[in-house]
Amino acid sequence: MARLSGKTALVMGASGRDNMGQVIARRLVDEGAKIVLSGRRLDELERFAGEIGGSGIAADITSKADNDALAAQIGNRFGGVDIVVNATGWGLLKPFELTTEEELRRMVDLQFVGPFLFFQSILPQVREGGSLIQISSATATIMLDDHAAYMGTKAGFDHVMRCLANEYGRRGIRANSVSPGFTETPMTAGAAKVPGLLETYASRYPLGRVGRTDDIADAVAWLASDGCFMSGQNLQVNGGLTLRGNPSREEIDAAVMAATGRPRPRPWGNGRTGSGRNG
């Protein structure tokens, strides 16, 4: 029997085509769960929901009103939820001193305030024995150059998940976070095409390769299952990256120069940021 048969799962951050949220959602369906998808783009939610037999409800995680409306629909349409996954994120790569106030506030809204409001809204709909799962990052623990705003907010929310585990354990609710390293997703596709860059990252993984979204989906499926007796923990699903750490800016630059004969392009060179929001 599928491990998640009879359970309802909500995946926030699944409105980007083939993004991590969608891969996780597909895996939960394969495990028998009834799936509810959420994010900012209703057209993509409805397309993907039709593909996997789920439901799509548009919501912006940074909006309290949207989160409250999402929770109300979960209660009215499904009678509650057993598994809640937050897979939103914004992969901003920019030096500390060049990060603008606007970028910082956007990052805090998306990766700290928004998830806080999201779990506040949805927790009354979470059934006894439910599972809350936050997609975090290895960089909440180990260093990566030019990533301070992202890293700080992910690290802060890891601790919020511990607080939720402590407070809601009385209802049998587990709360954990999952920390990928560099993972091949649509959000990292541009970086992966830079000659020498992917190989430099892979050399820091004891298991010999960077992560794939399926690796994270596997971990989420286990955390969501009744066989998981773990709460308040951060699961490092990154092939041993934390043993060696990410490559430095200088190491990446040297690898790209050796492969191309040209300096590595900087995403902030013209004032634009790195990756876009993952909704």
Residues carrying an active site annotation: 150
What pTM was estimated for this model as a whole? Answer: 0.94
Query: Running DSSP on this structure, what letter comes out for residue 112?
Result: I
Strands 89-90 vs 81-86: parallel, antiparallel or unpaired: unpaired
Q: How far apart, in whole angstroms, are the C-alpha atoms of residue 38 and residue 40? A: 7
Burial letters 225-242, b for 16+ CB under 10 A, else e: beebeebbbbbbbbbebb
Task: Give me the DSSP letters along 46-95.
Answer: HHHHHHHT-EEEE--TT-HHHHHHHHHHHHHHHS-EEEEEE--EE-----
pLDDT in tens, the chain (279 residues): 599 999 999 999 999 999 999 999 999 999 999 999 999 999 999 999 999 999 999 999 999 999 999 999 999 999 999 999 999 999 999 999 999 999 999 999 999 999 999 999 999 999 999 999 999 999 999 999 999 999 999 999 999 999 999 999 999 999 999 999 999 888 788 888 899 999 999 999 999 999 999 999 999 999 999 999 999 999 999 999 999 999 999 999 999 999 999 988 887 753 333 333 445
Q: How far apart, in whole angstroms, are the C-alpha atoms of residue 214 and residue 273? A: 27
Phi/psi at 155 (5° precision): -65, -40
To which H or E segment does residue 107 belong?
helix 101-108
Phi/psi at 173 (5° precision): -85, 130
Q: What is the maximum alpha-carbon separation in the chain?
A: 59
To which H or E segment does residue 26 belong?
helix 20-30
Cβ atoms of 141 and 155 closer than 8 Å: yes
Cβ atoms of 128 and 173 closer than 8 Å: yes
Torsion of CA 198, 142, 104, 235, to 10 degrees: 90
163 token code pair: 């607080």
Query: Running DSSP on this structure, what letter comes out for residue 265?
Result: P
Q: List, in order of start, the domains of the chain with CATH numbers.
A: 8-186+211-243 (3.40.50.720)
